[in-house]
Amino acid sequence: MPVFPIIATPAGPVSSDAPAWNRQRRSQMPSHRYRNVFDKVDVPLAERTWPDRKLTEAPLWVPVDLRDGNQALPEPMDPARKKRFFELMVAMGYKEIEVGYPSASQTDFDFVRVLAHTDLAPDDVTIVVFTPARRDLIERTIESIRGITNDVVVHMYTATAPIWRDVVLGRDSDNVRALILAGATDVLELAGDLANVRFEFSPEVFNLTEPDYVLDVCDAVTTLWDATRQRPVILNLPATVEVATPNVYADQIEYMHHNIARRDCVILSVHPHNDRGTGIACAELAVLAGAQRVEGCIFGNGERTGNVDIATLALNLHAQGIDPMIDFSDIDEIRRTVEYCNQLEMHPRHPYVGDLVHTAFSGTHQDAIKKGFVEHHARAAKESLPATAVEWRVPYLPIDPADIGRSYDAVIRVNSQSGKGGIAYLLETGFGVELPRRLQIDLARHVQRRTDLDGTELSADQLWRIFHEVYVGGKDAADVALISFDSHDEHERTTTRVTLEIEGQQSNSTHEGVGPVEALIEALTVHNRHIEILSLTQTSVRAGNDSDALTMVEYRTVDGSGWVAGVDRSVLTATLNAVVRAVNSAGHTIAAR
C-alpha cells in the first residue's frame, strides 16, 4: 500500500498541479450556472465572537408544525389531527406555538376560533398566528384571535431578498420597504390596543437579503411598533432556502445581534430550513451568535427538505448536560402522534427517534456497547446509586435510551441484531411475510431464547412455527372469543353487530358509524377490556389463490405493550382475531386509562 505524504495546501478547488493522489475527475454537472453565496451576501462583520461561545441554556422553542409544517403536507391536517398535535405540544412543555395561517384556509381560521372558545390552550401558552403584509389578510387574522385570553403573537412576513423582490413581488427595494411598513401600520391599527397581543416580523429569505437593507427594514418596523422591554418585538430571521455553509448564517445573525436598534427590546429569532442538510448546525451556530428563539418542526417536517428539527436540537442540548426545557421522556409516543398527524413515516435512522438509532450491527460496536453497560452498572453499584444517577459513559450511545423512554432490552438485543436481520430475511423469502421493524426485534428475542437452548440453526419453517406459537396461538386463559360479526349499511350509515363470549357468557352489541376494528374495541370496552391499538399491519402469507391473510397488531394496555397476530383466509377475520388475541394476552380485566 502506498504511503501518502501529508502536504499542507491552501483551501480551494483541486487544480491540475495538485499532488497525484489528490487529483479528481471533473464531473459533467453544470456547476458554472451557480454563484457562490459569498458573491451574493457580503456580511460586514468586523469581528465575530460566536466561534468562542458555548451553548449553556435552551432557547425559546417555537414549533411551527401546525402552520409551516402543515402547509408542506400532501394531505393537510384536519381539525382532529390539529387538535391532537396541539395537545401533544402542550404536554411536552412548549410555551409558544404557531397554530396556523388563519387567512389562508377556513380550517386554520376555525382552529384558532376553537382556541378562543375553549380551554384547549393553558393560560401560560402563547398562541402565534401568521399573516402576509396585506391589509385584508391582516384583518382576517386579527378577526381570528378576537376573544383569545392567552398571550398572542401576530407574525407578519414579507419576502425581502433581491430575487423575490424582482421575480415574485415585482417591486424595487424602496417599494418593498413601503409595503412592509404599510402592513406593520395595519397590524398596529387593528391589534395595537389588544393588551395581550405582541408582534413578530419575518423578512423572508433573510439569508439572501442585503445586510444593510434588512437591518434598515427591521429597525423601521421595531420603531413603528414601538418595541419596549414590556412589549418586545420578535424579529425572526429565516434561512428560508439554505444556500450557504452554517458559518455564513451565524455571521449574518451576529451582525444583526450587534447592530439592530432597541436590542434589549427585541427577541432575536431564527427559522432555518434544511436544503443543504445543515439546518441543525445553522440553528446551533445562530444561537451562539445571539439568537434567543428558534422556530422549527418536531422531527423536521417542512417544505422541500424540511424545517430545522427542534426535537434533535433539544436532545443535542440534553446530550451535553443542558436541560432542553421540553419533555422527551416518551419519544415513541411523540413519534406515533407526529406520524399520525403528518401521515409521514419516520426514517429508522432519524436522530434519537428512529427505530435503529440505538442498534449496532457491527460486532465491534456491539462488544463496546456491552462492555459500556457492564462498566456503567458496576459504577452505579459501587457508588450505591441508581443507574440513572451515574454519569453516562457508554461507547456509541450519546444518551441513555431510558431518558427517552426506550427500554434497555432494545439495546441489549444489539448482540443479536444481525440474527434479527436473518430472521426477517428468511420469513420474507420463505413465506412472503415482511415484519414491521419493532416486531422483528420482539421476535428476535423469542428466537434467541430458542437458539440458546438447543444451539441449532433454524429454518424458515421453524421460524414460522415460533412466530405462530408466540403471536397467533389460540384462545387462552382470559377466555374472550368472537362468536359473530356482521357489518352492513343502513340508511347511509354503517351498522355493526358484535357477539362476544366472555368467561362463558354471550353478549350482543350494536355499533353505528365506526369501522370494524373500532366496533370490536367498543364492544370489548363495555366489558372492561380496554385496549389501544398502536399499529396494525396487514399482509399475506405466501402468494397465490391459496394464500392466507396475516394481520400484525401492536397494542398497549396499562400493563404495557406487546404484539399479536391473526391468520385467516379473510383479511377482516384475521384482523378481528388479532384484536381478540391482544385482549386475551393482556389478561382478564384491564382498568380504563
Q: How confident is residue 213, by pLDDT bands cut at 50, 70 and 90?
A: very high
Higher pLDDT, 13 or 399: 399
Mean pLDDT calculated for residue range 516-526 = 89
Contact between 269 and 235 (Cβ < 8 Å): yes
Residue 344 DSSP class: -
Grouping H, G, I as helix, E, B as strand and the rest as coil, residue 144 is helix
Which pairing describes strands 548-557 and 532-541: parallel, antiparallel, or unpaired? Answer: antiparallel
Residue-wise burial string across 433-466, b where 16 or more C-beta atoms lie within 10 A, e elsewhere: bebbebbbbbbbebbbeeeeeeeeebebeebbeb
Mean pLDDT along residues 421-425: 67
**Distances in Å between the alpha carbon of 515 and those of 338, 339, 519, 533, 542?**
23, 21, 6, 14, 27
Confidence of residue 314 (pLDDT cuts 50, 70, 90): very high
Predicted confidence (pLDDT) at residue 457 exceeds the cutoff of 80 = no
Q: How many Cβ atoms sit within 10 Å of the Cβ of residue 391?
A: 8
CA distance 571 to 551: 7
pLDDT of the residue at 526: 86
Which residues, other chains included, contact 126 with Cβ-Cβ below 8 Å and sequence gap of 6+?
Answer: 95, 96, 97, 150, 151, 152, 153
Given this model, what pLDDT does residue 82 score? 97
Can you tell me the distance from the alpha carbon of 148 to that of 153, in angstroms, rounded to the nearest whole number?
11
Task: Label residue 57 exposed, middle or buried (CB < 10 Å: 0-12, 13-18, 19+).
Answer: exposed
Amino acid 474: pLDDT: 55
* Mean pLDDT across the chain: 88
Q: Each residue of 373-413: pLDDT tens digit?
A: 788 888 888 898 888 888 999 988 999 998 999 876 555 43
How much is the average pLDDT of 174-201? 97
Domains 49-342 and 480-586 share a fold: no
Instruction: Give the side-chain half-sphere CA count within 13 A for 580.
Output: 29
Closest CA to 240 of 163, 313, 184, 183: 163
Backbone angles phi, psi at 175, to 5 degrees: -70, -35
Instruction: Quickly list H helices, 347-416.
Output: 363-382, 408-412
What's the pLDDT score for residue 492?
A: 76
Higher pLDDT pick, 512 / 237: 237
Q: At a CB cut-off of 8 Å and minimum separation 6, what does 134 contact?
A: 183
d(CA 420, CA 444): 5
Q: How far apart are CA 522 and CA 539, in angstroms?
A: 25
Range with the poorest average pLDDT among 109-118, 196-205, 402-411, 578-587: 402-411
Of 107-116, 309-318, 352-361, 431-440, the one with minimum mean pLDDT is 352-361
Average pLDDT over residues 576-583: 90
Residue 521 to residue 531: CA distance in whole angstroms: 7
Residue ranges per domain, the chain?
49-342, 363-472, 480-586
Q: What pLDDT does residue 195 have?
A: 95
Instruction: At 254, list the grid cell.
Output: 451576529
Instruction: Give 254-308 pLDDT, tens digit per residue.
Output: 999 999 999 999 999 999 999 999 999 999 999 999 999 999 999 999 999 999 9
Q: Which residue has the higher pLDDT, 318 or 389?
A: 318
Across 585-590, average pLDDT: 56
Residues contacting residue 590 through CB under 8 Å, at least 6 positions apart: 528, 529, 530, 531, 557, 558, 559
CA atoms within 13 A on the CB side of 173: 11
125: Cβ contacts below 8 Å, ≥ 6 apart? 90, 94, 95, 96, 97, 150
Phi/psi for 170 (5° steps) reads 65, 40
Query: How high is the pLDDT of residue 480?
Result: 85
Q: Which of 537, 574, 536, 533 is nearest to 555 (CA)?
A: 533
Amino acid identity for residue 92 in this structure: M
Q: Strand, helix or coil at 550?
A: strand
For residue 588, what are the contacts with CB-CB under 8 A and spacing of at least 6? 477, 478, 479
Give the pLDDT score at 288.
Answer: 98
pLDDT band at 479; cut points 50, 70, 90: confident
Q: Is the distance from CB of 94 to CB of 121 less than 8 angstroms?
A: no
Strand ranges of the sheet holding 480-490, from the earlier edge strand across to the other edge = 480-490, 493-502, 505-512
Residues contacting 301, CB < 8 A, separation 6+: 65, 69, 72, 73, 307, 338, 342, 344
Cβ(176)–Cβ(165) below 8 Å = yes
Burial class (CB in 10 A: 0-12, 13-18, 19+), 235: buried
Cα angle 533-539-544, degrees, rounded to a multiple of 5: 160
The percent of residues above 70 in pLDDT, for the chain, comes to: 90
* Helix 460-467, helix 437-454: angle, nearest 10: 110
- Distance, in Å, from the CA atom of 304 to the CA atom of 273, rounded to the nearest integer, reads 9
What are the pLDDT digits (tens) for 105-143?
999 999 999 999 999 999 999 999 999 999 999 999 999
pLDDT at 233 over 80: yes
Whether the Cβ atoms of residue 334 and residue 302 lie closer than 8 Å to each other: no
Instruction: Kindly tell me if the per-residue pLDDT of 9 is higher than 50.
Output: no
- Confidence at residue 593, expressed as pLDDT on a 0 to 100 scale: 36
Q: What is the pLDDT of residue 293?
A: 98
443-451 mean pLDDT: 83
Cα–Cα distance, 225 to 235 (Å, whole number)? 12
Average pLDDT for residues 306-314, to the nearest whole number? 98
Q: Say if residues 199 and 233 touch (Cβ distance below 8 Å).
A: yes
Distance, in Å, from the CA atom of 441 to the CA atom of 148, rounded to the nearest integer, reads 47
Using only C-alpha atoms, the chain has a radius of gyration, in whole angstroms, of 29
Higher pLDDT, 147 or 505: 147
Provide the CATH number for the domain formed by 480-586 in this structure: 3.30.160.270
Could you tell me how far CA 148 lies from the centroid of its own chain? Answer: 28
Task: Tell me if the domain spanning 49-342 has CATH number 3.30.70.3280.
Answer: no
Average pLDDT over residues 483-506: 84
Task: For residue 301, give the DSSP letter.
Answer: -
Which pLDDT value is given to residue 224? 98
Average pLDDT estimate for 554-582: 90
CA 502 to chain centre: 41
- Residue 345 makes CB contacts below 8 A (sequence gap 6+) with 339
Residue 576, CB-side half-sphere exposure with 13 Å CA sphere: 24
In the chain, pLDDT over 90 holds for what percent of residues? 61
Q: Which of 179-188, 264-273, 432-441 has the lowest mean pLDDT?
A: 432-441
Is the per-residue pLDDT at 149 higher than 60? Answer: yes
pLDDT at 268: 98
Name every residue whose Cβ is closer than 8 Å to that of residue 452 and which is 6 or more positions away in sequence. none
Outline where DSSP puts E strands in 191-309. Answer: 197-204, 233-239, 266-272, 293-296
Give the three-state DSSP class for 484.
strand
Model pLDDT, residue 10: 46
Quickly state the pLDDT bin for 219 (edges 50, 70, 90): very high
